[in-house]
């Protein structure tokens, strides 16, 4: 482990984290507030400091970018793109195809306020689009939610591990706050792993050839493929639910929050505990699969009050309520438009619920 | 006068780069012809083991069923971007796509033109049959004015839908492409009922090979094949060939529009 | 021990730079730091407000809601005075702001940053910009003077901060900025001395 402490923006940290895990290819269309990602990668590409980094290309559109990522990923390369809300909408076509073709790749969405052009402030309004699969057809989704600059740096490695393990696209859902936030960090010494890419399309040798297609014209073929994707979704849901917890063991009220909201909730937990209210935090690290098992276990252990804090009109709260199955009181504190609630807002809402 | 080499009797034959799967193409469709020309060129160049084709959306959507090579499926219109992604990480591979007029010139025009402008070392084969075949005969960007399609029942009106787009000249408008060529592909009837003029297929064979050679030398290659769609034109096969010669050939003149590496000038 | 700062001003005053330097200073002193830039769409002229949090412990929230220190570079920045924690400090660029804080439970340090910087013309490289651009460094020096971490240690760390950020074309401005920090530091340390 190197002990060099860096001081980087979330977007910059994410770019370096990807490079340090052996990123081969980056294609993207610039969009605020994610532009530091391509800018950092373009600089490093020009410097040739990362030997695995074979390609940086600014695409002519979001569609071009995601399809270039598809092409590179089809050869077994570690390929990534990054965007923000409006661009993430355009990426959905490619994500559907990539999921159908079972291609491992990484798509970063630095969530800004919407709908439409919205503004450049932070929101978490792309939660549904990311976790449900915003493209057509049904397909498994794997969504990671960093909550700090060090996690912006380390999640690309985790993302590629999962993408290649399950041969599926992985979405890294950040928000505009995390993208612009600068924090101190030490890059973990991650190896740049080589994954099994025997499935890749790199030229047919002998009789064996690889056709990566999402087209299954025979109804029975498509049904089989869809079931295969469903099995994958189930496997991912069983094995990959991840969450971090603070003080949930004795909490009378549990915040559920991710991304920048989880940081606010941490502060609120501290304030509430100083006021003798036993608050806790369940922070989903995987938004898909949602850590519903932990929600159910917490309820079994006697937790009955959950306060979901998110930057939207209520999206993740649905997943918490589904997991709770009516066995707990689940309330929402939502904020929109690029604004954040204050930690005092969280404290007040929790106090009202705790009463 | 017709040279002996241009007289061709259609026959089937196995090639290493053909899977042998019977194609779904309609009788008389040039997609079948082009499939064979591509297989032949890959065999002649000995590049099958490092070829990755990109399947587009349209009548060529199943081309990977017939061509015995590795393949990646692109969303509708995005094949040039997928090819660019492949080549940027694996310049050693050969990649190509067979795109229809709707795929390349309508929904995928941005991808085509930007790949052309960047001079991506990829090969695009455009089958221009002036209509949407796979979806059942709707207007294409290349549909001639006046042609009746299912979405232009009174004939294409250039005032409301624009005139047909000349993709070859669009691509050739950029400086970067290394090889831009248009071939009139349909065989044409001759006075003898069993003899056909196959000049288009012979020229097409050369163009396919040249396009691959240009890619191997790092250039962007684009070949448009003016073709027929007798089913959706609602004409007989031979009538369609004649219609193509009379209407499409003047509209989309065959010829060499760019040959930066002088592959045809040797 | 956690310190929370808001740095505010308008675009072109080097507010983001000042906040970033302050954060990096704390990082070099072994602290965890979080710095949040927030700015309008314009590079020049827009309203700018940044958060700097520094702590010996991991930082829970990077958002500053009740700052210990407000560095107000212009008049609109005084809008944030009500947020100051009771007992907190308002460090104000008195070259541009004449108003008082309107509250008695905070300490006010008035630093004529533009005037102090303008007196440093001899450190500007040949043909360089007006020395008043270093007003942000004067305020950095003042903020560090208030932190009372000792002049020698502070000076050594500030040098390291500038060596990190003032590179290439900006390297020529290192003497100007260092002297501006010294001026700001000396100004508040003097004013903190009993009369």
For residue A81, pLDDT beyond 70? yes
Contact map slice: A 262-281 vs C, CB within 8 A: 263-264, 266-267, 270
Contact map slice: A 267-326 vs B, CB within 8 A: none
Query: Coil, helix or strand for A42?
Result: helix
Lowest mean pLDDT segment, chosen from A90-104, A200-214, B47-61, B219-233: A200-214
Query: Coil, helix or strand for A71?
Result: helix
- Separation of first and last alpha carbons in chain B: 26
Of the candidates B51, B61, B82, the beta carbon closest to that of A71 is on: B82
What is the pLDDT, as a whole number, of residue B12? Answer: 58
Q: Is the sign of the CA dihedral B53, B56, B59, B62 positive or negative?
A: positive
Pair C58, C43: CB distance under 8 Å? no
Of the candidates B71, B88, B110, the beta carbon closest to that of A201 is on: B71
* Burial zone of B202 (CB within 10 Å; 0-12 exposed, 13-18 middle, 19+ buried): middle
CA–CA distance, B142 with B106 (Å, rounded to integer): 9
Residues of A with CB below 8 A from C62's CB?
Answer: 181, 183, 263
Contact B93 A74 (CB under 8 A): no
Chain B nearest-CA distance from A202, in A, is: 6
CA dihedral of B206, B208, B214, B217, whole degrees rounded to 10:
-100
What is the pLDDT, as a whole number, of residue C195? Answer: 59
What is the pLDDT, as a whole number, of residue A54? Answer: 97
CA angle B39, B73, B137 (to 5 degrees): 85
What is the pLDDT, as a whole number, of residue A189? Answer: 83
Integer CA distances (angstroms), A312 to A152, A276, A316, A340, C65, in order: 21, 30, 9, 10, 21
Pair A72, A27: CB distance under 8 Å? yes
- What is the ipTM metric for this complex? 0.96
Low-confidence stretches of chain C (pLDDT beneath 70): 39-46, 195
**Residue B85 sits at the chain A interface (C-beta within 8 Å):** yes
Enter the DSSP assignment of C76.
G
Q: Could you tell me which chain C residue has the CA closest to the CA of A343?
A: C65
Query: Coil, helix or strand for B10?
Result: coil
Contact C32 A184 (CB under 8 A): yes
The structure tokens listed for C93 are 């660029």
For residue A136, pLDDT beyond 90? yes
CA–CA distance, C100 with C92 (Å, rounded to integer): 9
CA–CA distance, A20 with A231 (Å, rounded to integer): 32
DSSP A260-327: HHHHHHHHHHHHHHHTT--EEEEEESEEES--HHHHHHHHHTT--EEEEEESSSSSHHHHHHHHHTTS
What is the pLDDT, as a whole number, of residue B265? Answer: 84
pLDDT tens digits, A262-314: 999 999 999 999 999 999 999 999 999 999 999 999 999 999 999 999 999 99
Q: Could you tell me which chain B residue has the CA closest to the CA of A57?
A: B88
Chain C interface disruption, residue of A182, A261, A270, most C CBs within 10 A: A182
Reported confidence tier of residue A190, pLDDT bands at 50, 70, 90: confident
Integer CA distances (angstroms), A336 to A118, B20, B117, C56, C61, in order: 10, 59, 41, 32, 19
Q: Peptide bond before A289: cis, by omega within 30 degrees of 0?
A: yes
Chain A nearest-CA distance from C120, in A, is: 30
**Residue A7 sits at the chain C interface (C-beta within 8 Å):** yes
Verdict on whether the full-model pTM lies above 0.90: yes
Rg (CA), chain C: 16
**Residue B75 sits at the chain A interface (C-beta within 8 Å):** yes
**Residue B163 sits at the chain A interface (C-beta within 8 Å):** no
What is the pLDDT, as a whole number, of residue C190? Answer: 87
CA–CA distance, B29 with B232 (Å, rounded to integer): 11
CA–CA distance, C165 with C170 (Å, rounded to integer): 8
Q: How confident is the model over A330-351, as a mean pLDDT?
A: 96
Task: Give strand pairing partners of B98.
Answer: B55, B125
Task: Give strand pairing partners of A42.
Answer: none
Reported confidence tier of residue A2, pLDDT bands at 50, 70, 90: low
The count of other CB atoms within 10 Å of the CB of residue B2 is: 12
CA–CA distance, A47 with A258 (Å, rounded to integer): 35
**Residue B64 sits at the chain A interface (C-beta within 8 Å):** yes
Contact A184 C62 (CB under 8 A): no
CA–CA distance, C168 with A291 (Å, rounded to integer): 48
Q: How confident is the model over A221-227, as a mean pLDDT?
A: 96
Enter the DSSP assignment of C85.
P
CA–CA distance, A69 with A106 (Å, rounded to integer): 9
Integer CA distances (angstroms), A252 to A82, A271, A328, in order: 39, 14, 12
Residues of C with CB below 8 A from A340's CB?
Answer: 63
How far, in whole angstroms, is CA A296 from its chain's centroid?
Answer: 22
Q: Could you tell me which chain B residue has the CA closest to the CA of A25?
A: B89
* Burial zone of B175 (CB within 10 Å; 0-12 exposed, 13-18 middle, 19+ buried): exposed
What is the pLDDT, as a whole number, of residue B10? Answer: 44
**How does pLDDT run along chain B (266 residues), one tens digit per residue?**
445 545 544 445 789 999 999 999 999 999 999 999 999 999 999 999 999 999 999 999 999 999 999 999 999 999 999 999 999 999 999 999 999 999 999 999 999 999 999 999 999 999 999 999 999 999 999 999 999 999 999 999 999 999 999 999 999 999 999 999 999 999 999 999 889 999 999 999 999 999 999 999 999 999 999 999 999 999 999 999 999 999 999 999 999 999 999 999 85
What is the pLDDT, as a whole number, of residue C42? Answer: 45
Residues of C with CB below 8 A from A33's CB?
Answer: none
> Chains contacting C with at least 3 CB pairs below 8 Å?
A
């Amino acid at each position: 482990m190197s002990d060099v402490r860096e001081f980087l923006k979330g977007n910059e940290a994410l770019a370096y984290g990807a490079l340090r895990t052996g990123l081969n290819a980056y294609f993207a269309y610039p969009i605020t507030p994610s532009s530091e990602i391509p800018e950092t990668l373009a600089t490093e590409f020009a410097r040739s400091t990362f030997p695995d980094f074979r390609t940086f290309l600014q695409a002519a559109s979001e569609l071009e970018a995601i399809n270039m990522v598809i092409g590179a990923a089809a050869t077994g390369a570690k390929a990534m793109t990054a965007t923000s809300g409006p661009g993430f909408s355009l990426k959905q076509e490619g994500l559907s195809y990539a999921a159908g073709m079972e291609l491992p790749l990484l798509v970063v969405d630095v969530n800004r306020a919407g709908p439409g052009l919205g503004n450049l402030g932070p929101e978490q309004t792309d939660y549904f689009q990311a976790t449900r699969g915003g493209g057509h057809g049904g397909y498994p989704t794997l969504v990671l939610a960093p909550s700090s600059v060090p996690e912006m740096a380390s999640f690309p490695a985790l993302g590629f591990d999962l993408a290649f393990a399950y041969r599926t696209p992985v979405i890294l859902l950040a928000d505009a706050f995390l993208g612009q936030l600068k924090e101190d960090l030490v890059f973990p010494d991650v190896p740049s792993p080589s994954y099994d890419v025997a499935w890749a399309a790199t030229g047919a040798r002998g009789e064996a050839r690889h056709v990566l297609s999402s087209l299954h014209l025979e109804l029975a073929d498509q049904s089989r493929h869809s079931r295969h994707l469903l099995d994958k979704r189930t496997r991912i849901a069983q094995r990959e639910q991840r969450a971090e917890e603070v003080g949930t063991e004795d909490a009378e009220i549990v915040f559920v929050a991710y991304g920048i909201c989880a940081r606010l909730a941490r502060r609120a937990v501290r304030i509430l505990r100083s006021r003798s209210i036993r608050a806790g935090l369940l922070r989903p690290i995987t938004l898909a699969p949602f850590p519903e098992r932990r929600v159910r276990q917490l309820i079994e252990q006697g937790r009955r009050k959950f306060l979901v804090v998110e930057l939207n009109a209520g999206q993740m709260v649905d997943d918490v309520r589904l997991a709770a199955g009516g066995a707990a009181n689940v309330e929402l504190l939502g904020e929109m438009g690029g604004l954040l609630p204050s930690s005092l807002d969280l404290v007040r809402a929790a106090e009202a619920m705790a009463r | 006068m017709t040279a002996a080499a241009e007289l061709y009797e259609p026959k089937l034959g196995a090639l290493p780069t053909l899977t042998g799967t019977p194609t779904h193409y309609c009788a008389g469709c040039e997609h079948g012809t082009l499939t064979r020309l591509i297989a032949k060129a890959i065999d002649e160049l000995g590049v099958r083991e490092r070829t990755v084709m990109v399947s587009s959306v349209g009548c060529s959507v199943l081309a990977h069923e017939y061509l015995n090579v590795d393949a990646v499926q692109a969303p509708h219109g995005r094949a040039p971007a997928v090819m660019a992604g492949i080549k940027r990480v694996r310049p050693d591979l050969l990649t190509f796509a067979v795109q229809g007029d709707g795929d390349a010139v309508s929904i995928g025009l941005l991808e085509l033109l930007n790949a052309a402008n960047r001079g991506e070392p990829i090969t695009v084969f455009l089958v221009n049959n002036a209509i949407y075949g796979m979806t059942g005969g709707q207007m294409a960007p290349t549909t001639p004015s006046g042609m009746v399609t299912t979405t232009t029942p009174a004939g294409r009106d250039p005032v409301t839908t624009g005139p047909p787009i000349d993709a070859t000249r669009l691509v050739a408008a950029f400086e970067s492409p290394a090889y831009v060529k248009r071939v009139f592909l349909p065989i044409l009837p001759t006075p003898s009922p069993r003899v056909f003029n196959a000049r288009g297929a012979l020229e097409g064979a050369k163009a396919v090979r040249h396009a691959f050679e240009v890619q191997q030398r790092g250039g962007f290659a684009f070949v448009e094949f003016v073709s027929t769609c007798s089913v959706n034109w609602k004409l007989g096969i031979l009538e369609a060939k004649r219609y193509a010669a009379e209407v499409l050939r003047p509209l989309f003149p065959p010829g060499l529009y760019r040959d930066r590496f002088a592959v045809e000038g040797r | 021990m956690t310190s929370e700062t808001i740095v505010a001003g308008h675009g072109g005053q080097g507010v983001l730079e000042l906040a970033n330097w302050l954060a990096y200073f704390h990082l070099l002193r072994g602290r965890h730091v979080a710095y949040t830039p927030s700015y309008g769409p314009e590079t020049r002229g827009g309203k700018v407000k940044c958060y700097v949090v520094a702590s010996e412990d991991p930082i829970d929230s990077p958002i500053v809601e009740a700052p210990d220190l407000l560095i107000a570079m212009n008049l609109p920045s005084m809008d944030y005075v009500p947020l100051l924690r009771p007992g907190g400090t308002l460090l104000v660029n008195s070259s541009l702001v004449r108003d008082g804080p309107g509250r008695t439970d905070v300490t006010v340090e008035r630093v004529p940053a533009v005037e102090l910087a303008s007196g440093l013309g001899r450190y500007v490289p040949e043909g360089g910009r007006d020395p008043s651009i270093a007003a942000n460094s004067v305020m950095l020096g003042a903020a560090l003077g208030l932190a009372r971490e000792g002049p020698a240690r502070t000076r050594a760390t500030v040098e390291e901060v500038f060596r990190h950020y003032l590179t290439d074309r900006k390297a020529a401005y290192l003497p100007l900025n260092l002297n501006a920090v010294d001026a700001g530091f000396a100004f508040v340390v003097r004013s903190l001395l009993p009369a």
